[in-house]
Chains A and B, each alone.
Chain A
Amino acid sequence: MKTFKVQTISRIKRYIPLYFMLLPGAAYLIINNYIPMAGIIVAFKKYNYQKGIFGSEFIGLDNFKFLFQTQEAWIITRNTILYNLAFMVIGTTFAVAVAIILNELNGKTMKKVYQTSILVPFLISIVVVSYLVYGFLSSNTGFINKSILEPLGVEGISWYSTPRYWPFILILVSLWKGFGYTSIMYYATLVGIDHSYYEAAMIDGANRWKSIWHITLPSLRPTITILTLMSIGKIFYSDFGLFYQVPMNSGPLINVTNTIDTYVYRGLMEIHNIGMSSAAGFYQSIVGFILILAANFIVRKLDSDSALF
């Protein structure tokens, strides 16, 4: 009979290899992420290069003021949140659908072709994407105005001066660029599903849709949940390239394309105030953090497998 002490020791001994596996990653995180995190205090300081981060004057929340003082603050927050919600819902649905389709398809070569094709947009940098979009939407020489509307006898639209189209355009561009990447991740999970489940279902007389509903989707649930949780953490962030470059920084569109990131950039572009930009970053982080804690808590109650932590 082993004593408790021996049991504990042997328990720990058993897990030691696992802890060793954690070592490289943990060391890296500490070096690359945690120690540098001290830099966050700059958000609360009036930074002076000669005094350094700890010597600079502490000014509390002063650096945060510019984010809240004006009308703009409400607009940019609203924009950032709404776009991210749209990306989450539409993006996830689309990517899952594509992953399922890929999974259901026969034909190895064709599948290869599809997989390669849908990844292409991911490879193109957002700056170049903005040129391509311009190629389609430019009022003088754009593909849509010149090669589609003109032949139909419809007058060209000034795309870059008409705000109301842009939520759709931006969501479409974001979808185009990202769905291949995301569906591949879902696809990997699907591919790993044990075939015997499907066979058992077939024997039980289930049809295609029922299998998908009862086997495929549930197996994706953890992945979907995790990815969604992570998106929630990033809800105050935005892809700068998408919201600044793609609309070509066009004035009339700013009310519908201004996000927290672009607002900070526009406002501080010539000012270079480190404390203020750091404060903006902190603001985005802390909101995301609180939301994730809340969301993760809920998820943990419902389905602890899918929780982030």
Chain B
Amino acid sequence: MRKQYKLTTLLLAAILLVGIFSGCSSNAPVATSGAPNASQDASSSDDTGESGVPEQEPYTVKIFMAGDATTEDCNLVAEALSEITVEKYNTTVQITRFGFGTYGDQVNLALSSGEKMDLMPNLGVSLLEGAHNGQILPLTDLLQEYGQELLEMITEEEWGCVTVNEEIYAVPNRKEHGGGMGYIVVKKILDETGTDPSTIKTQDDMAELFRKVKELYPNMAPLVSDGGSLDWFSVQKDDLGGDFGVLEDCLADDYTVVNWYATETFYNEVVRQYEWAQEGLILKDGSTNSEQGVDLLAAGMGFAMQTNTKPGVDVERELLIGREIEVIELVEPFAQTGSVSGNVWFITYNSERPGRAMQILNEIYVNPDASNLVINGIEGRHYVMVDEALGVIGYPEDASSSQNGYSSLPWAWPNELNTYTWESSYPDLWKDTEEFNQNINLSVAFGFIWDNEKVLSEIAACKNVLEKYKNALVCGELEPDETIAKMNEELDRAGMQTIIEEKQRQLDEWLATKD
């Protein structure tokens, strides 16, 4: 009925009736004002799990996770994990998973109604929002007491990326922290054009390649959009936490926050896309294309799509496209705050024993057995060892990749780097990722966190304006000069300058504290 989508939108209006029901309900969340219940655990716990028999009372930590999985499989995994955690911390674990499409709604509902939950990834709740409106707990003290290993393994700068108002609010996932930009191309066609991918360094080189492809396949548009967008730009810009206002070149020593959509660089990118579209190098009406890029490439409807670049992106995509592919990198990888704060774990405010939650989080992070359980499931049921020595796993005989009951999402859990690799990937993937992180260039604003509280109305208005033009512009469908000018005019009217000024102010403040 008509009401369905209205309800879903209204879901964002999560409302808590604790006032009325705290009398009736035994699930009323612990009314903290932000300070964790560390004392409750401190008095009743001995070690933090290093040795033998713990003195803590039994407790169950509930993990609220995303990704498809059946209730039965989640329970099996949770049971197996509990064997480890009960021994160390006298704590059992429960896992509930919801598909991505519905996870956001579910978790907000659970948070609003004060249901039992302890740990969650940052999906449906953002770091900043969660910190401001009390959905998540500050972790600084908890880390000191129960998360020593976490403190050791994660660098100072990385903690900076998840610090709000001088408190740490999340634990960053151990995965690639940053990326570059490039294209994925179908190898077969690439070979047909006789081009050596290592000779391609610039967008113009790509254009040449596209033209050659077009000659060979006149009816195919070489570059396709991904679900309607071509949003990866060939510059290293720091989004400074999102919501408009960026550092155009984040490796340069320039701290001026600018409106990305009014910059010369953006203009040039769009003009290039427009010219490409005129030449027929981009999928016609790419902005309304509802197919994913990988599906189009798989169906032979395209030659190339944009991608971020990081170790393993090629095998990842190849799996989906089903053809041999090549990754051509144009922009060297770099890291911004968002690269670290993009995937993190929280302890929710309604956790009755946050100390316990921290212990379990710590365990999953440092213990490969625990990590493998939550990420890959149970050996024999969800995967089988293919190469014990190298730690490579594959699907069991009778299960197909899409239906094994417990979907594997390494990047979404606290630590993917100490787990097995799938045979569809390659054994050294995690090693390469560690190296990748060591050597990556950091943005000059790495560690800066943007607080958008004061400019929410302006952001809402600007977002609506942006939606009107962005996709069509980057897919080369609209005339750049006119459209960009119009768009920026509307953006200014919607309050863009206010946002920029606010962001600059915060960035300057942050810089001052750094020195």
Cβ–Cβ contact B465 & A48, under 8 A: no
B residues in contact with A255, CB < 8 Å: 468
B433: min CB distance to chain A, Å: 27
Write out, one digit per residue, whether chain A residues 240-263 have a CB within 8 A of any chain B CB (1) or not (0). Answer: 110010001111101100100101
Write out, one digit per residue, whether chain B residues 456-481 have a CB within 8 A of any chain A CB (1) or not (0). Answer: 11111101110111111000011000
B138: min CB distance to chain A, Å: 12
B165: min CB distance to chain A, Å: 14
For this complex, into which size category does the number of interface residues on chain A fall?
Answer: 35 or more
Write out, one digit per residue, whether chain B residues 114-146 have a CB within 8 A of any chain A CB (1) or not (0). Answer: 000000000011100100011100000000000
Cβ–Cβ contact B288 & A47, under 8 A: no
Cβ–Cβ contact B349 & A276, under 8 A: no
- Residue A134 at the chain B interface, CB threshold 8 Å: yes
- B13, B284, B467: the one within 8 Å of A42 (CB): B13
B residues in contact with A70, CB < 8 Å: 461, 493-495
Cβ–Cβ contact A252 & B459, under 8 A: no
Partner-binding segment picked from B28-36, B377-385, B413-421: B28-36
Cβ–Cβ contact A272 & B228, under 8 A: no
B494: min CB distance to chain A, Å: 5
Q: How long is the Cα–Cα vector from A35 to B19 in the complex, in angstroms?
A: 12
- A47, A250, A266: the one within 8 Å of B287 (CB): A250
Contact status of A252 and B134, CB under 8 A, knowing A71-B493, A160-B288, A281-B10: no
- Residue B304 at the chain A interface, CB threshold 8 Å: no
B residues in contact with A36, CB < 8 Å: 17
Q: How long is the Cα–Cα vector from A65 to B5 in the complex, in angstroms?
A: 23
Which of B10, B12, B468, B494 gathers the greatest number of chain A CB atoms within 10 Å?
Answer: B12
Contact status of A277 and B12, CB under 8 A, knowing A70-B461, A271-B459: yes
A residues in contact with B256, CB < 8 Å: none
Cβ–Cβ contact A50 & B15, under 8 A: no
Q: How long is the Cα–Cα vector from A256 to B16 in the complex, in angstroms?
A: 36
A residues in contact with B472, CB < 8 Å: 161, 250-252
B residues in contact with A281, CB < 8 Å: 10, 13
A residues in contact with B29, CB < 8 Å: 49-50
Contact status of A274 and B470, CB under 8 A, knowing A71-B490, A160-B285: no
- Residue A106 at the chain B interface, CB threshold 8 Å: no
Cβ–Cβ contact B112 & A49, under 8 A: yes
Beta-carbon nearest neighbor of B288 in chain A: A160
Beta-carbon nearest neighbor of A36 in chain B: B17
Contact status of A49 and B133, CB under 8 A, knowing A240-B6, A251-B468: yes
- Residue A74 at the chain B interface, CB threshold 8 Å: no
A residues in contact with B495, CB < 8 Å: 69-70
- Residue B514 at the chain A interface, CB threshold 8 Å: no
Beta-carbon nearest neighbor of B494 in chain A: A70
- Residue B14 at the chain A interface, CB threshold 8 Å: yes
Which of A258, A266, A274 gathers the greatest number of chain B CB atoms within 10 Å?
Answer: A274
Contact status of A278 and B468, CB under 8 A, knowing A66-B461, A134-B290, A271-B456: no
Which of B17, B124, B461, B472 gathers the greatest number of chain A CB atoms within 10 Å?
Answer: B461
B residues in contact with A54, CB < 8 Å: 18-19
Cβ–Cβ contact B133 & A251, under 8 A: no
- Residue A273 at the chain B interface, CB threshold 8 Å: yes
Write out, one digit per residue, whether chain B residues 1-26 have a CB within 8 A of any chain A CB (1) or not (0). Answer: 01011101110111111111000000
- Residue B111 at the chain A interface, CB threshold 8 Å: yes
B residues in contact with A49, CB < 8 Å: 16, 29, 111-112, 133-135, 349-350
Cβ–Cβ contact A158 & B285, under 8 A: yes
Cβ–Cβ contact B460 & A268, under 8 A: yes
- Residue A264 at the chain B interface, CB threshold 8 Å: yes
A residues in contact with B18, CB < 8 Å: 52-54
Cβ–Cβ contact A251 & B5, under 8 A: no
Contact status of A161 and B464, CB under 8 A, knowing A47-B133, A52-B16, A248-B290: no
Cβ–Cβ contact B133 & A274, under 8 A: yes
A177: min CB distance to chain B, Å: 10
A282: min CB distance to chain B, Å: 9
Q: How long is the Cα–Cα vector from A136 to B236 in the complex, in angstroms?
A: 40
- Residue B295 at the chain A interface, CB threshold 8 Å: no
B255: min CB distance to chain A, Å: 24
Beta-carbon nearest neighbor of A54 in chain B: B19
Beta-carbon nearest neighbor of A126 in chain B: B5
Cβ–Cβ contact A252 & B478, under 8 A: yes
**A130-181 contacts to B (CB < 8 Å):** 131, 134, 138-140, 158, 160-161
B residues in contact with A134, CB < 8 Å: 288, 290
**A106-142 contacts to B (CB < 8 Å):** 126, 131, 134, 138-140
Cβ–Cβ contact B133 & A48, under 8 A: yes
Cβ–Cβ contact B349 & A50, under 8 A: yes
B468: min CB distance to chain A, Å: 4
Q: How long is the Cα–Cα vector from A182 to B126 in the complex, in angstroms?
A: 42
- Residue A11 at the chain B interface, CB threshold 8 Å: no
Q: How long is the Cα–Cα vector from A69 to B495 in the complex, in angstroms?
A: 10
Cβ–Cβ contact B10 & A50, under 8 A: no
Which of B2, B135, B228, B490 gathers the greatest number of chain A CB atoms within 10 Å?
Answer: B2
Which of A54, A240, A251, A268 gathers the greatest number of chain B CB atoms within 10 Å?
Answer: A251
Given A234-B2, A261-B6, A272-B129; 5 other pairs, CB 8 A cutoff: A38-B20, A158-B285, A240-B9, A267-B460, A271-B460
Q: Which 3 A-B pairs have the closest CB atoms?
A: A267-B460, A240-B5, A39-B15
Residues of B in contact with A (beta carbons under 8 Å apart): 2, 4-6, 8-10, 12-20, 29, 31-34, 108, 111-112, 124-126, 129, 133-135, 228, 242-243, 283-285, 287-288, 290, 349-350, 452, 456-461, 463-465, 467-472, 477-478, 490, 493-495
A-B contact pairs, 26 of them (CB 8 A): A35-B20, A39-B13, A39-B15, A47-B14, A47-B133, A49-B133, A53-B17, A69-B461, A72-B461, A72-B465, A72-B494, A161-B288, A241-B5, A250-B288, A250-B471, A251-B470, A252-B468, A252-B472, A254-B468, A266-B460, A267-B459, A270-B463, A272-B126, A274-B13, A277-B12, A278-B15
